[in-house]
Amino acid sequence: MTTVKKYQNDVTPTWCPGCGDFSVLRSLQAAAARLNLDNHNLMTVSGIGCSGRISGYLKTYGFHSIHGRALPIAQGIKLTNPELTVIAMGGDGDGFAIGTNHTIHAMKRNIDITYIVMNNQIYGLTKGHTSPLSEKNFVTKSTPYGHIEDPLRPGLLALASGSGFVAQGFSAYQEQLIDIIIKAINHKGFSFINVFSPCVTFNKVNTYQWFREHLVNLDEDSDHDKTSFQNAMNKYIETGGLFTGILYENKQMEYHERLSKKHKTPIIYQNLDISESFDKLIEDFI
């Protein structure tokens, strides 16, 4: 039986004790174990920030990219080798500040990858600055008189951008998070998971206890139709985005299925020797 040890390496995480990212790492390893994924067929791509370190803590192929650019790299890897299970990961600043444009277009493009956002509603690595998902009136070092802007709503953005799988997890609810990650990986197309991952050092408002008191579990809502786009929109607005579980799951035509037949052969199976065509091109110019 495959265990999480198969996906553990010898690198010790340097997150603050109690950081929600520990649970995300463990949940991802547990999901991979239950799916019995081969280490060499699993690719993890991370961005910058506290969450960006996660790709270095997994015994898989990993790519620690630059700020906000995890998704372009993950998409390129998946298009080059569709046989890989590709998981992109980052923080709320990574995905919804500098990387917002990439996030929207990745969702619209619907390439078969999973994107996990570790959302602590603050910039932890830069020692406590407001993020695009920080609530209004939130006091940080960059907003000492309170945040005057309304936060982005990642689930609504994902729905509007065309993601066929939208879910939310919470670091303290590990079993549910493992189940969500498994379903996201199995979903054919782009899968988005927003994980409430508390920052115990710099965010003293959105704590573990705060989330326990405010989150609604959609798995316990028998009236929730996760295949209905309209119902998903309504449910997000109704809960104020404070829920865990799968909000929306509906199969859409995946990117590779849209390609013409001549473009469906992955780069890894193409002959990349250009010497003959290059020589002919030179002759034409001489």
Token pair for 216: 């609604």
Over the stretch 4-19, which tens digit does the pLDDT of each residue have? Answer: 999 999 999 999 999 9
Which residues is 2 bridged to in the sheet?
none
Stretch (H or E) spanning 168: strand 165-170
- Any idea which residue has 């907003």 for tokens? 143
The distance of Cα 113 from the centroid of its chain, to the nearest Å, equals 9
Q: Is 242 exposed, middle or buried (0-12, 13-18, 19+ CB in 10 A)?
A: middle
**pTM tops 0.95:** no
| Successive 10-residue mean pLDDT values, the chain, 286 residues | 92 96 97 97 94 94 93 96 96 92 96 97 88 93 92 96 97 98 98 98 96 97 95 97 97 86 72 78 83
Q: How far apart are the C-alpha atoms of 170 and 196, rounded to whole Å? A: 5
Q: Map residue 137 onto helix, strand or coil.
A: coil
Fold that domain 4-253 belongs to in CATH: Rossmann fold (3.40.50)
Torsion of CA 160, 162, 167, 171, to 10 degrees: -80
**pLDDT of res. 262:** 62
- What are the sequence ranges of the domains in the chain? 4-253
Over the stretch 66-120, which tens digit does the pLDDT of each residue have? Answer: 888 999 999 999 999 999 999 999 999 899 999 999 999 999 999 999 999 999 9
